[in-house]
């Protein structure tokens, strides 16, 4: 199979496994009181050019839900895109960890929320009324759940509206590496310099192994979150083996190297699609995901050819590029699509 099903079907970077082996000597204090976890704080503070607190967690869902619970009271409203992972794919983990907080979808283009729509949504809730909950925070997925990227200007505009109403800003960075690679900016510019208060820092989808992280830019959020993570079952007693993964992930720019690789494969496929008049993208290809409207028979044909991908609906296919996908695999997909989308093929199917 040529596997475009997801970036979480992929391998872990060998460097991460090697780091585990290196960390497996001597003994070390548990629950994060070890040298690796201390290093991680320094390393990420360097990376983000400010003092941050990093909490390794098992999954992106844990990172998202616990981050949101940290920035919202239980009666809070979290504004997010209709397509946001927290809204569609995490079994309402945010509502659970947040004690009944509510997600409020906000309109926008290509999986992003728009500053104007956010403005309207917040304005509709009078401060101090008790019947609808109170606006608490925004959630931005970067790269978005449709494979697009917020520009720095967009981030700033949205965060500004949030700040002006006292809302916290959370970034779901499950594919943050892909976003930074695409934007060509620094991690700091892509986050706290734009007003982000806390983020889910993804690794799993981009060559990681068994952990993601929460990165906290606002020190006042740290102490409560630390206890919440403990009782959420997200604090490993052998934490050094999680911290070692994240250290290896960012060492020597490995994370961005892998993200550039997967972005490049997606771009190569997108370039190929641009030459196929029958290929209709749902959204611009800006990271490592391609959402393509395809007739059912074409999806069948691709599967018969040995391609793996997700059918998001009867007419929408998602192709995700992993860090270790190859140019040959990209060529193969474009070639197959060219064949199956050709007028002759359509006639045969009709």
Binders of a copy of itself in range 95-134 (CB under 8 A): 95-102, 128, 130-134
Q: Which of 11, 120, 186, 331 binds a copy of itself (CB under 8 A)?
A: 11
Binding mask 260-279 for a copy of itself (x = CB under 8 A): --------------------
Question: On the CB side of 210, how many CA atoms lie within 13 Å of its CA?
Answer: 11
Q: Which stretch binds a copy of itself (CB under 8 A): 70-78, 175-183, 190-198, 265-273?
A: 70-78
Our CB check for a copy of itself shows the closer of 136 and 279 to be 136
- Count CB neighbours of 91 within 10 A: 9
78 near a copy of itself, rule: CB under 8 A: no
Our CB check for a copy of itself shows the closer of 133 and 187 to be 133
29 near a copy of itself, rule: CB under 8 A: yes
Measured torsion, CA atoms of residues 227, 231, 234, 236, in degrees rounded to the nearest 10: 90
Question: Cα-flanking dihedrals φ and ψ of residue 221, to 5°?
Answer: -90, -10
d(CA 242, CA 286): 30
173 near a copy of itself, rule: CB under 8 A: no
Q: Which of 91, 252, 275, 350 binds a copy of itself (CB under 8 A)?
A: 91
CA distances from 322 to 7, 33, 233, 295, 330 (A): 5, 34, 29, 25, 11
Q: Which stretch binds a copy of itself (CB under 8 A): 19-27, 151-159, 183-191, 290-298?
A: 19-27
Q: Which stretch binds a copy of itself (CB under 8 A): 15-23, 37-45, 250-258, 280-288?
A: 15-23
Name the DSSP class of 323. Answer: T
Q: Which of 37, 40, 60, 119 binds a copy of itself (CB under 8 A)?
A: 60
Q: Which of 83, 90, 193, 250 binds a copy of itself (CB under 8 A)?
A: 90
27 near a copy of itself, rule: CB under 8 A: yes
d(CA 226, CA 219): 11
Question: Cα-flanking dihedrals φ and ψ of residue 235, to 5°?
Answer: -110, 105
Binding mask 291-330 for a copy of itself (x = CB under 8 A): -----------------x-------------x--------
227 near a copy of itself, rule: CB under 8 A: yes
Minimum Å gap between C-beta 294 and a copy of itself is 19
Strand-pairing partners, residue 168, are: 137
Our CB check for a copy of itself shows the closer of 156 and 228 to be 228
Minimum Å gap between C-beta 242 and a copy of itself is 7
Phi-psi category of 120—alpha, beta or left, where left has phi over 0 and alpha has psi -120 to 50? Answer: alpha
Our CB check for a copy of itself shows the closer of 155 and 214 to be 214
Task: Find the helix or strand (DSSP H, E) in which 138 lies.
Answer: strand 134-141
Measured torsion, CA atoms of residues 28, 34, 36, 39, in degrees rounded to the nearest 10: -150
Query: If we measure between CA atoms, which residue out of 140, 145, 136, 133 comes closest to residue 115?
Result: 140
Q: Which of residues 33-52 bind a copy of itself (CB under 8 A)?
A: none
Minimum Å gap between C-beta 295 and a copy of itself is 21
Tokens found for residue 296: 């059912």
Q: Which stretch binds a copy of itself (CB under 8 A): 68-76, 191-199, 281-289, 290-298?
A: 68-76
Angle 165-214-237 from CA coordinates, rounded to 5°: 140
End-to-end CA distance of the chain: 27
Query: If we measure between CA atoms, which residue out of 153, 140, 123, 165 comes closest to residue 80?
Result: 140
229 near a copy of itself, rule: CB under 8 A: yes
Spatial contact of 60 and 200, defined as CB atoms under 8 Å apart? yes
């Amino acid at each position: 199979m040529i596997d475009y099903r997801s970036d979480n079907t992929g391998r872990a970077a060998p460097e991460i496994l090697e780091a585990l082996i290196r960390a497996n000597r001597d003994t070390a204090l548990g629950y994060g009181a070890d040298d690796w976890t201390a290093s991680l704080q320094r390393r990420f503070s360097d990376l983000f050019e400010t003092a941050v607190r990093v909490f390794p967690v098992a999954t992106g869902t844990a990172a998202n839900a616990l981050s949101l619970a940290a920035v919202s009271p239980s009666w809070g409203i979290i504004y997010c895109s209709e397509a946001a992972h927290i809204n569609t794919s995490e079994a309402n983990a945010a509502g659970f960890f947040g004690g009944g907080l509510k997600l409020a979808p906000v309109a926008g283009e290509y999986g992003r929320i728009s500053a104007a729509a956010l403005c309207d949504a917040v304005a509709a809730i009078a401060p101090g009324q008790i019947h609808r909950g109170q606006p608490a925070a925004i959630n931005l997925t970067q790269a978005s759940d449709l494979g697009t990227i917020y520009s720095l200007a967009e981030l700033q505009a949205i965060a500004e509206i949030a700040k002006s109403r006292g809302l916290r800003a959370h970034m779901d960075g499950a594919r943050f590496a892909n976003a930074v690679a695409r934007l060509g900016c620094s991690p700091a510019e892509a986050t706290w310099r734009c007003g982000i208060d806390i983020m889910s820092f993804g690794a799993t989808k981009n060559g990681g192994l068994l952990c993601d992280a929460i990165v906290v830019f606002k020190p006042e959020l740290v102490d409560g979150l630390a206890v919440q993570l403990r009782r959420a079952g997200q604090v490993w007693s052998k934490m050094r083996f999680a911290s070692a993964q994240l250290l290896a992930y960012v060492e020597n720019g490995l994370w961005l190297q892998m993200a550039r690789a997967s972005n490049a494969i997606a771009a190569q496929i997108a370039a190929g699609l641009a030459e196929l008049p029958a290929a209709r993208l749902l959204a611009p290809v800006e990271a490592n995901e391609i959402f393509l409207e395809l007739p059912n028979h074409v999806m069948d044909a691709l599967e018969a050819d040995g391609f793996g991908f997700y059918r998001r609906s009867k007419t929408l296919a998602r192709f995700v590029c992993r860090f270790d996908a190859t140019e040959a695999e990209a060529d193969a997909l474009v070639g197959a699509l060219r064949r199956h989308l050709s007028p002759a093929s359509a006639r045969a199917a009709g």
